[in-house]
């Protein structure tokens, strides 16, 4: 998928001053902007009536907000769009398991429980230290907490008691994983993505939302001051405080597809949406962000790929059928493919299976593994992924500069 042909076809012969000429304002509630999918009245009533929680993130800047405004209200449009994507994927049953990764401050988890009235089992990962009152409040809503370090290579204070680097959940145990505006905060997202895919049921779904790396605002910033990001790199919390909670980078649709495929997932659906932050409920803001210049509205309607929100639904890849992984002739085509990928530095490292072990020895050592080596790998400490196998094989005396042919 590429946006450039459609953009050039529509605007290639038009001077930029004409593209941006119509600066009259159009309301977000105007029928011609129904593609914005503004939150309906019943959701806004839920936002207004939501009780204040001990873990709420509250904004008080008097130049923007009317009093104290929770994250739920400040980001009501984004949260509504996320719930709209999640709702058809939910099953209203205690046996349906949802994992909300990086859930703090739990606005989506709470809305699933209180607004969508879902009786599912709801698990949320957390790295923040919560007060006893906050933990009790979440327990009352039947939201289970898992202390998991999503980015273990980044040191962020003292770890929580019982914190792990891997999801302490069985394989194939989760029906729906929510990864909402988390990935842009991680330096090394591949490990937690692989963990997410591991715990996802074969029939399960993974929902990833994040800022779109090709957002129109970035393009306009570049025209204005030579910087692309709408948040300058040196101003992010990641750079100022050297912690993962700030924005690290933004992703394009192609970036996310590559990451998810490397983690063992395949993308089923991609949506581009334009989120209006600090917009509704309007009484919460001094100048509600509920209008757009017409030139911007026209661009975003015609080229959705310029919108600021990227939303993907993915599923676990189907496991390949394996008759006998030690049969070189039966797997000749797979061996050739893996050899070519390895030579190009793109070997598939996301399948921790017997096939990986067999091909790993074949590629690194030029032979198939012995029964003892297979047994040793099976008894090695968790995680027994291919990364650990490669570490072992690289230390093998058989691997000394072996040429791949």
pLDDT tens per residue, range 142-183:
999 999 999 887 776 778 888 998 999 999 999 999 999 999
How far apart CA 39 and CA 142 sit, in angstroms, is: 26
Summarize pLDDT for 63-103 with one digit per residue, the tens.
999 999 999 999 999 999 999 999 999 999 999 999 999 99
Residue 297: closest CA among 74, 22, 76: 22
339 and 312, same structural domain?
no
In a shared domain, residues 202 and 53? yes
Q: Return the sign of the alpha-carbon dihedral for residues 363, 367, 368, 371.
A: negative
> Are 311 and 345 in the same domain?
no
Query: Do 8 and 154 belong to one domain?
Result: yes
Can you tell me which residue has the tokens 């962020």?
A: 156
What is the rounded CA–CA span in Å between residue 396 and residue 405?
A: 19
CA dist 83 and 39 (Å) reads 10
Q: Tokens representing 323?
A: 């008759």
Q: Which helix (H) or strand (E) holds 206?
A: strand 200-211
Domain co-membership, 191 together with 269: yes
Whether 51 and 128 map to the same domain: the answer is: yes
User: What digits encode the pLDDT tens for the residues 367-394?
Assistant: 777 766 766 766 666 655 556 666 676 6
Per-residue pLDDT, 321? 45
Helix (H, G, I), strand (E, B) or coil at 213: coil
pLDDT for the residue 365: 72
Domain boundary among 316, 350, 381: 316
Among 316, 351, 374, the domain boundary falls at 316
Q: Tell me how far apart the alpha carbons of residues 313 and 1 are, in angstroms, rounded to a whole number.
A: 17
| Shared domain check, 381 and 279 | no
Please give the Cα distance from 208 to 267 (Å, whole number).
10
Tell me, yes or no, whether 324 lies in a domain.
Answer: no
Distance in angstroms (rounded) separating the CA atoms of residues 235 and 241: 10
> How confident is the model at residue 367, as a pLDDT?
73
In a domain, residue 57? The reply is yes
- Report the distance separating Cα 58 and Cα 237, nearest Å: 18
Pair (210, 74) in one structural domain = yes
Which of residues 6 and 143 earns the better pLDDT score? 143
Shared-domain flag, residues 273 and 138: yes
Q: What total number of domains does the chain contain?
A: 2
**302 and 337 inside one domain:** no
The answer to whether the beta carbons of residues 175 and 97 sit under 8 Å apart is yes
> Whole domain around residue 147: which residue ranges?
4-316
Residue 404 resides in a domain: no
Instruction: Quote the pTM value.
Output: 0.75
Q: How far apart are CA 74 and CA 285, in angstroms?
A: 9
Strands 200-211 and 174-180, sheet pairing? parallel
């Amino acid at each position: 998928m590429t946006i450039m042909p459609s953009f050039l076809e529509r605007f290639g012969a038009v001077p930029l001053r004409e593209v941006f000429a119509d600066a009259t304002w159009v309301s977000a509630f105007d029928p011609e902007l129904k593609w914005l999918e503004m939150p309906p009245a019943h959701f806004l009533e839920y936002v207004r009536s939501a009780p204040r929680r001990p873990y709420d993130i509250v904004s008080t800047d008097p130049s923007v907000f009317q009093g104290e405004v929770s994250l739920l209200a400040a980001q009501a449009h984004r949260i509504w769009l996320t719930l709209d994507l999640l709702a058809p994927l939910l099953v209203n049953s205690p046996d349906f398991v949802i994992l909300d990764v990086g859930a703090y401050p739990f606005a989506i988890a709470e809305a699933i429980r209180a607004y969508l009235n879902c009786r599912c089992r709801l698990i949320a990962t957390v790295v923040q230290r919560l007060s006893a009152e906050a933990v009790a409040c979440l327990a009352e809503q039947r939201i289970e907490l898992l202390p998991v370090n999503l980015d273990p290579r980044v040191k962020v204070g003292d770890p929580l008691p019982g914190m792990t680097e891997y999801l302490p959940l069985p394989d194939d145990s989760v029906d729906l994983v929510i990864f909402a505006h988390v990935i842009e905060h991680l330096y090394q997202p591949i490990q937690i993505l692989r963990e997410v895919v591991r715990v996802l049921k074969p029939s399960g779904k993974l929902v990833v939302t994040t800022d779109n790396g090709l957002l129109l605002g970035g393009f306009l910033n570049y025209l204005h001051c030579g910087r692309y990001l709408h948040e300058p790199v040196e101003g992010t919390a990641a750079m100022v405080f050297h912690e993962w909670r700030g924005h690290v980078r933004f992703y394009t649709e192609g970036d996310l597809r590559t990451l998810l495929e490397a983690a063992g997932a395949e993308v089923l659906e991609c949506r581009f949406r334009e989120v209006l932050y600090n917009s509704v409920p309007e009484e919460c803001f001094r100048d509600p962000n509920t209008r757009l210049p017409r030139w911007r509205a026209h661009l975003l309607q015609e080229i959705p790929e310029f919108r600021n929100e990227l939303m993907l639904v993915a599923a676990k890849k189907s496991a390949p059928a394996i008759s006998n992984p030690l049969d070189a002739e039966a797997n000749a085509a797979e061996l050739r493919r893996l050899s070519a990928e390895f030579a190009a530095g793109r070997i598939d490292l996301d399948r921790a299976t017997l096939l990986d072990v067999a091909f790993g020895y074949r590629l690194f050592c030029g032979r198939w593994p012995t029964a003892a080596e297979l047994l040793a790998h099976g008894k090695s400490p968790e995680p027994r992924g291919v990364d650990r196998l490669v570490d072992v094989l690289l230390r093998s005396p058989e691997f000394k500069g072996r040429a791949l042919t």
